[in-house]
């Protein structure tokens, strides 16, 4: 199917954007621009006039509605739309805000500055690029671009075997989030950072590029230029910030600079949902806002329009254990709702099987659809076994946040062509596509070009031009001919762009003229067809981008849009979604499964840089609060008694957060430890292999319709017998060895004096010892 036919077909599909917040009952207030009424607290936030205001908006309390209607009220009362700046953290949130404002205000919404921090700063930098050493056509290095550059620099400096590019970039990122120089000594790899960081920044400057951090830092640099600071300081009359608890120090400094002249700063956030400390977020920005702005009005939004009271009680029960927070308690007029279900599986496969079967049953019995269901987890590694069992259950599912569409090889290749077309000095783009598709230009030729570029101070594309004319030594006629063909390809594509081709048409020309399309069509494999489909989807994305504005869109603007996309912007139509809780923030579903509710997994008990144990646990509680409040109607929490980690079977204890759930929230009867948790059948060729044996099940447990583990399964089996004394020991109980210390019983074999016990001693590992050398703890003996 041609790209144009595919686009025509895709454009026949209609999309809609609806809010999940229902109309609010009395008290009812109305204004000329309102579509939905507001409660008293929301009204206070909307009607607040000049001066700083902090809106503490709990999960599902209608903060987007408040922001939108506050902006509409500002316009209604005389504020010019172009003088309003509203910033948030995701493109999706910014798009929803703009969509709602267009419904309320029409074209006036288009004059406002609404976007993410990065897109807002990119827009400003386009205007003032020359002031900070850039041109208006600068490009943004995404994570993949940054990693390739640092890998190259580490190799060139001889540090590639000492430290990874990821570690180096993490050091850059942490420092830049605070507005600090990454070369500030920390005692770890200081010599590497001292050498590599200047080279990294030099290469960015050479390629007329910035990374994500520099987008913000260079706008701060603009405030150090008096004539620019004078303009920016009065550019915005009102500044509004969504998800303020997720701002880092640089972002907070930016909004304070923007609002310094008027002090009309409105921040909306929830300290209970601050879950991004690991990437520089500073919850104290919200906690201490009233210290920086003593005259700030503080408004709490606690009425929830998303979840049932049962779900809210569970969330309140967990988060109230945190100390460093503003006191809030969510409530709703919806009433109780379904009890929360807790399921204990024998291992991660049994857990995945239960979730898959439960979803299959919900879909078969109706009225649930796949898009109304989500599976959330603490770490990406948990998704693999879940995917396998969902496939076996024939449940359509998608992992969100895995390999982003824009990170797929063929898409990155096209993006590199576009970058090189727009910026001939983009050496990293040149190196990526000089031999894509394969045209016989090998590493030896590229190394000769690197040497020529260093000697002349030019970029690699200019060196290739010189080589094509025979002005670079060490290259034979065949290499010169191939380079000549590549240069002509780039020049021809440049002509296409110069003649005013749309972004979509330019991409079609790249795919066709480069030979990418012909190569993939010739392969005619499942993988090549998938890659062609991805390229077709890229063209569709570009076509939609072209259609967004009556004015011609540019390649630079399209590349900026791609660079600033995020995992949270991915959507899944009529599919169950699987994602980490971090990505799920801001989203909601009628039915939510949270898997892996086990101590050490959730909450994670890993040590964290620059964060105390107590602070880390508080962030884990906030993460649990976020996860629970994604559910609108039904919530299922699952955990496993054993889990494979690095090939070993480890005993897992239930998450301590389960103990914080109010008993009235839970389904009755609660599953006891003596209830058998049956096994998942083996998966063969993507299907469950036959029907597992049916084992005994207690009549009172209507959920338990599956079999026990096959005898050959190398997993820990949980049956009634496991909890009866076996020579004095029960599986899972605590025991103490005189030399090895405390551990938990994994298995018991033999009788009498020859009885042996396999014990998991934690960091020491699993050891088999004679039972007579063990003493019982408090929970495992009769």
Q: Which candidate in 41, 145, 214, 242 is catalytic?
A: 242
The two structure tokens encoding residue 686: 């993507």
Place of tokens 């609010």: 24
Measured between alpha carbons, how far is residue 366 from residues 255, 362, 373 in Å? 47, 6, 12
Measured between alpha carbons, how far is residue 202 from residues 153, 197, 208, 438, 576 in Å? 11, 9, 10, 30, 45
User: HSE on the CB side for 318, CA within 13 Å?
Assistant: 28
Measured between alpha carbons, how far is residue 466 from residues 444, 463, 475 in Å? 16, 5, 11
Backbone angles phi, psi at 249, to 5 degrees: -65, -40
Backbone angles phi, psi at 321, to 5 degrees: -75, -20
Q: Which candidate in 42, 273, 310, 629 is catalytic?
A: 273
Backbone angles phi, psi at 252, to 5 degrees: -65, -40
**8 A C-beta contact, residue 538 and residue 507:** yes
Q: Which candidate in 6, 7, 63, 561 is catalytic?
A: 63
Q: Which residues of 527-542 are buried (b: 16+ CB within 10 A; e: fewer)?
A: eeeebbebbbbbbbbb
What are the strands, taking DSSP E only, across 90-164?
113-116, 139-140
**8 A C-beta contact, residue 638 and residue 597:** yes
142 DSSP 8-state letter: -
Q: Which candidate in 42, 61, 64, 541 is catalytic?
A: 64
**8 A C-beta contact, residue 153 and residue 196:** yes
Place of tokens 């990155």: 412
- The reply to whether 243 belongs to the active site is yes
Taking the C-alpha atoms of residue 748 and residue 372, their distance in angstroms, rounded to an integer, is 45
Taking the C-alpha atoms of residue 461 and residue 457, their distance in angstroms, rounded to an integer, is 12
Q: Using alpha carbons only, give the angle 358, 363, 369 rounded to the nearest 5 degrees.
A: 120
Measured between alpha carbons, how far is residue 30 from residues 26, 34, 105, 516, 693 in Å? 11, 6, 16, 57, 63
Instruction: Tell me the torsion sign for CA atoms 533, 537, 538, 540.
Output: positive
Q: Which candidate in 243, 302, 431, 633 is catalytic?
A: 243
Q: Which residues contact 472 (CB under 8 A, 6 or more apart)?
A: 448, 449, 452, 463, 466
- The reply to whether 482 belongs to the active site is no
Taking the C-alpha atoms of residue 662 and residue 318, their distance in angstroms, rounded to an integer, is 9
The two structure tokens encoding residue 399: 């992992």
Taking the C-alpha atoms of residue 3 and residue 82, their distance in angstroms, rounded to an integer, is 38
Taking the C-alpha atoms of residue 507 and residue 542, their distance in angstroms, rounded to an integer, is 8
- The reply to whether 630 belongs to the active site is yes
Radius of gyration of the chain (CA): 29
Instruction: Tell me the torsion sign for CA atoms 255, 256, 260, 264.
Output: positive
**8 A C-beta contact, residue 580 and residue 278:** no
Helix, strand and coil in the chain, % to nearest 5: 45, 15, 40
- The reply to whether 64 belongs to the active site is yes
Long-range contacts of 287-294 (CB under 8 A, 24+ apart): 287/324, 287/325, 287/326, 289/52, 289/54, 289/244, 290/54, 292/256, 293/52, 293/54, 293/263, 293/265
Q: Which candidate in 174, 630, 656, 717 is catalytic?
A: 630
Active site residues per annotation: 63-64, 242-243, 273, 630
């Amino acid at each position: 199917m041609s790209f144009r036919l595919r686009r025509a077909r895709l454009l026949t599909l209609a999309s809609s954007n609806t809010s999940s917040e229902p109309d609010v009952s009395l008290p009812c207030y109305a204004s000329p621009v309102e579509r939905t009424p507001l409660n008293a607290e929301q009204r206070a936030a909307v009607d607040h006039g000049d001066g700083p205001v902090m809106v503490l908006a709990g999960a599902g309390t209608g903060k987007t509605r408040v922001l939108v209607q506050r902006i509409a009220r500002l316009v209604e009362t005389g504020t010019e739309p172009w003088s309003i700046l509203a910033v948030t953290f995701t493109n999706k949130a910014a798009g929803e805000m703009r969509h709602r404002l267009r419904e309320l205000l029409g074209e006036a919404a288009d004059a406002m500055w609404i976007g993410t921090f990065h897109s807002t700063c990119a827009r400003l930098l386009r205007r003032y690029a020359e002031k900070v050493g850039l041109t208006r056509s600068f490009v943004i290095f995404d994570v993949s671009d940054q990693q390739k550059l640092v890998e190259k620099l580490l190799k060139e400096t001889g540090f590639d075997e000492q430290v990874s590019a990821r570690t180096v970039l993490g050091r850059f990122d942490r420092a830049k989030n605070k507005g600090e120089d990454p070369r500030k000594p920390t005692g770890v790899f200081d010599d590497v950072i001292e050498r590599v960081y200047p080279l990294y920044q030099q290469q960015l400057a050479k390629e007329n590029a910035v990374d994500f951090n520099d987008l913000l830092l260079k706008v701060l640099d603009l405030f150090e230029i008096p004539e620019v600071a004078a303009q920016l300081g009065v550019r915005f009359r009102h500044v509004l910030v969504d998800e303020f608890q997720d701002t880092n120090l640089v972002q907070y400094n930016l909004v304070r600079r923007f609002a310094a002249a008027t002090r009309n700063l409105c921040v909306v956030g929830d300290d209970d949902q601050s879950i991004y400390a690991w990437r520089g977020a500073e919850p104290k920005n919200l906690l201490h806002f009233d210290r920086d702005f003593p005259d700030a009005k503080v408004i709490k939004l606690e009425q929830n329009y998303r979840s049932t009271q049962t779900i809210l009680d569970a969330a309140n029960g967990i988060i109230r254990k945190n100390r460093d927070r503003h006191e809030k308690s969510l409530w709703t007029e919806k009433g109780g709702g379904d009890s929360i279900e807790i399921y204990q599986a024998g291992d991660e496969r049994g857990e995945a099987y239960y979730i898959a079967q439960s979803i299959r049953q919900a879909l078969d019995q109706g009225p649930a659809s796949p898009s109304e269901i989500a599976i959330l987890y603490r770490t990406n590694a948990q998704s693999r076994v879940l995917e396998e069992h969902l496939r076996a259950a024939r449940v359509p599912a998608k992992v969100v946040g895995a390999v982003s569409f824009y990170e797929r090889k063929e898409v990155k290749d096209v993006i590199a062509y576009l970058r090189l077309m727009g910026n001939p000095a983009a050496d990293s783009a040149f190196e990526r596509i000089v031999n894509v598709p394969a045209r016989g230009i090998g590493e030896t030729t590229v190394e000769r070009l690197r040497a020529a570029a260093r000697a002349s101070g030019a970029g690699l594309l200019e060196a290739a031009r010189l080589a094509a004319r025979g002005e670079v030594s060490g290259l034979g006629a065949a290499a010169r001919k191939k380079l000549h063909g590549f240069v002509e390809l780039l020049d021809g594509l440049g002509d296409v762009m110069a003649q005013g081709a749309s972004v979509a048409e330019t991409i079609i020309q790249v795919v066709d003229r480069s030979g990418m399309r012909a190569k993939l069509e010739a392969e005619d494999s499942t993988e090549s067809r998938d890659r062609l489909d991805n390229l077709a989807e890229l063209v569709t994305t570009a076509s939609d981008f072209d259609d967004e504005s009556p004015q011609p869109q540019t390649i630079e603007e399209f590349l900026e849009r791609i660079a600033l996309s995020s995992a949270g912007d991915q959507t899944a139509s009529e599919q169950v979604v699987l994602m980490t809780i971090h990505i799920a923030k801001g989203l909601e579903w009628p039915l939510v499964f949270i898997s892996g509710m086990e101590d050490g997994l959730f909450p994670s008990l890993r040590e964290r840089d620059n964060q105390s144990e107590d602070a880390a646990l508080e962030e884990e509680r906030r993460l649990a609060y976020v996860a629970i409040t994604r559910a609108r109607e039904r919530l299922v929490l699952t955990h496993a008694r054993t889990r494979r980690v690095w090939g070993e079977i480890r005993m897992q204890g239930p998450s301590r957060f389960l103990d914080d759930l109010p008993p009235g929230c839970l389904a009755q009867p609660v599953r006891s430890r003596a209830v058998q948790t049956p096994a998942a059948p083996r998966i063969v060729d993507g299907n469950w292999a036959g029907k597992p044996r049916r084992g005994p099940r207690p009549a009172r447990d209507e959920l338990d319709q599956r079999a026990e583990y096959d005898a050959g399964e190398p997993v820990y089996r949980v049956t009634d017998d496991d909890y009866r004394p076996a020579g004095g020991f029960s599986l899972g109980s605590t025991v103490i060895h005189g030399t090895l210390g405390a551990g938990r019983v994994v298995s018991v074999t033999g009788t009498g004096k020859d009885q042996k016990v396999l014990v998991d001693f934690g960091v020491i590992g699993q050891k088999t010892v004679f039972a007579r050398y063990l003493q019982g703890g408090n929970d495992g003996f009769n």
